[in-house]
Amino acid sequence: MGAAENATADRGPVVAGVIVSVGSATLVALIASGIVSPFSIFSLEIAVMLAVIGWLGGVRNV
């Protein structure tokens, strides 16, 4: 494995963390402003997707 591959692999959890934190903040803002109901299918799907992205980003490099 070359140095470039290592550098790319090491960024996985960081990128996943950024996606999850930005996505979570956006979802919370939408719920707080009343645009999205916290019990709607849409918000549930987004929450599950963010959880999966976070899990994949964290587990992939173990």
In the numeric block, the tokens 């290592």 are attached to 6
Number of structural domains found in the chain: 1
pTM of structure: 0.57
pLDDT at 45 over 60: yes
Q: What is the tens place of the pLDDT at every residue in 19-43?
A: 888 888 888 888 888 887 877 888 8
**Residue 35 host element (H or E):** none
How much is the average pLDDT of 45-60? 80
Instruction: From residue 48, give the alpha-carbon distance in Å to each of 2, 3, 12, 27, 56.
Output: 34, 33, 19, 12, 12
pLDDT at 15 over 60: yes
| Neighbouring residues of 11: CB distance < 8 A, sequence distance ≥ 6 | none
pLDDT at 55 over 70: yes
**Range of 27's domain?**
3-59
Mean pLDDT across the chain, nearest whole number?
76
The alpha carbons of the chain give a radius of gyration, in whole angstroms, of: 15
Output the pLDDT for position 1. Answer: 45
